[in-house]
Amino acid sequence: MKTLLIVQHSMTGGTLQMAHAAAAGAATESALTVKLMHASAAGPSEVLAADGYLFASPENLAAISGQLKDFFDRTYYPCLERLNGRPYATLICAGSDGQNAARQIERIATGWRLRPVAPALIVCTKAQTPEEILRPKQISASDLKRCEELGALLGAGLGMGVF
């Protein structure tokens, strides 16, 4: 049985909705255990026990969230050189473009020698004012479907041993 670890942080609910959709997609693979964890609860033991990863973060000030950064700070060196070749994907809930947040995760994953299975999936909410940025998010059904499909792709690849 393979394990997919989904590590997420969400401030306004958008990223969490995306992570749940991806988890539902991955859960369709019977030979897979899906573990969805808040970034503050995930540590090196969970990372080392997983066979693949999905990292989900809001875009905060053109970067990943502080909680996801803290997760990487706590797990990076204990896991370094121990994850080589494992697959990963990224979800970003962005207010503007999300590209820098995606690049940050890509750089960390490159250091861990993880293998990307798809380009970062970025959902842009276009929230630009302080009120819009802090307001709870509702991700569209079509964007949630894209997240579910990414989870299903990652789950199927892990379950079949492709990744």
In tens, the pLDDT along 110-153 reads 999 999 999 999 999 999 999 999 999 999 999 999 999 999 99
Would you write out the chain's pLDDT as a tens digit for each of its 163 residues? 999 999 999 999 999 999 999 999 999 999 999 999 999 999 999 999 999 999 999 999 999 999 999 999 999 999 999 999 999 999 999 998 999 999 999 999 999 999 999 999 999 999 999 999 999 999 999 999 999 999 999 999 999 999 9
Alpha-carbon distance 120 to 124, whole Å?
12
Structural domain for 134, as ranges = 2-160
State the pLDDT at residue 60: 94
* pTM of structure: 0.97
b/e 50-63 (16+ beta carbons within 10 angstroms → b) = bbbbbbbbbbbeee
State the pLDDT at residue 158: 96
State the pLDDT at residue 122: 98
Is residue 81 classed exposed, middle or buried when 0-12, 13-18 and 19+ CB atoms within 10 A define those classes?
Answer: exposed
State the pLDDT at residue 138: 97
Query: What domain count does the chain have?
Result: 1
Q: What is the average pLDDT value for the chain, to the nearest integer?
A: 97
CATH number for the domain spanning 47: value is 3.40.50.360
